[in-house]
Structure 1
Amino acid sequence: MILKLKIKVEEKQDNSQQVKEKKTAFKAVRDNIVGGKWIAKNLNFFLFVSVLAIVYIANGHMADRAIRDISKTQKEIKELQYEYKTIKSEVMFKSEEVQVLKAAEPLGLKISKEVPQRLVSEK
């Protein structure tokens, strides 16, 4: 019975010692992180990761802006193409002989029925 008690006492001491070791190890890690030692050691890495994050975000914004600009330019090009085709068809229509005659009538211009005369100069 005494042996059983000694074994139980030793087991409890071992368990309590393991718990104390775990607590001290946890406390050491916590003190390193909270105390700033770990952060101070890895400050360059944190700054590098921060710069990468900023560059990544900025790149996304610039890509969005470029896509919007491209879309806007494509819409403007389509509108200008439609305008060009419309104006071209109007010019083609107005340059027909019948349309030119209609436009010249209010000015008093008419097609001559006479054959043009050739002037000959004497040298």
Structure 2
Amino acid sequence: MLMETVSTRKERKIRINYQLIVKNLPFFLFLSVLAVIYIYNGHYSDKLIKSISKTNKELRELQFEYKTMKSEVMFRSKQTELAKAVEPLGLKELVIPPVVIIDSAINNHN
């Protein structure tokens, strides 16, 4: 008789635990979905941070290139550098100031 009560109690505990698990199955599934979303969010944020870091690095490189090109253009647009650049073409810098030509026909209409 004692043996029967012990096995009945164990059976009841197993049955109660099984019923409890089956009863809370939707909640366990919900927790599983939340865990998957949490893991996905972690991977997505890592990927996004790497992408932002890569973009910042490219931006810094492009800014450096821009500043280099800008300084080179400023240097080449100086008057003395322009004179050196066009000298092989046969062009020379003016030594006398330019002359203003006035059209007499335009002055008569005014």
Q: Give the TM-score taking structure 2 as reference length.
A: 0.81
Q: Is residue 37 of structure 1 aligned with residue 12 of structure 2?
A: no
Aligned CA-pair RMSD: 2.0
- Give unpaired runs (5+ residues) of structure 1: 1-15
Q: Which has the higher contact order (CA 8 A, sep 6+)?
A: 2
- Number of the residue aligned with 2:9: 25
Alignment of 1:84-123 (within 5 A): 84-122=66-104, 123=108
Aligned residue pairs, count: 105
Counterpart of 2:65?
A: 83
Runs of 4+ deviating beyond 3 Å: 19-23
Counterpart in 1 of 2:32?
A: 50
Q: Name the aligned partner's letter for residue 96 of structure 2.
A: E
Task: Give the unaligned 5+ runs of structure 2.
Answer: none
Over the matched positions of the two proteins, sequence identity in percent amounts to 47
Tell me whether 1:62 sits opposite 2:55 in the alignment.
no
Deviation at 1:24, TM superposition (A): 2.6
Give the letter aligned to residue 10 of structure 2: F
| 1:74 aligns to 2:60 (yes or no) | no
> Which residue identity is paired with 2:9?
A
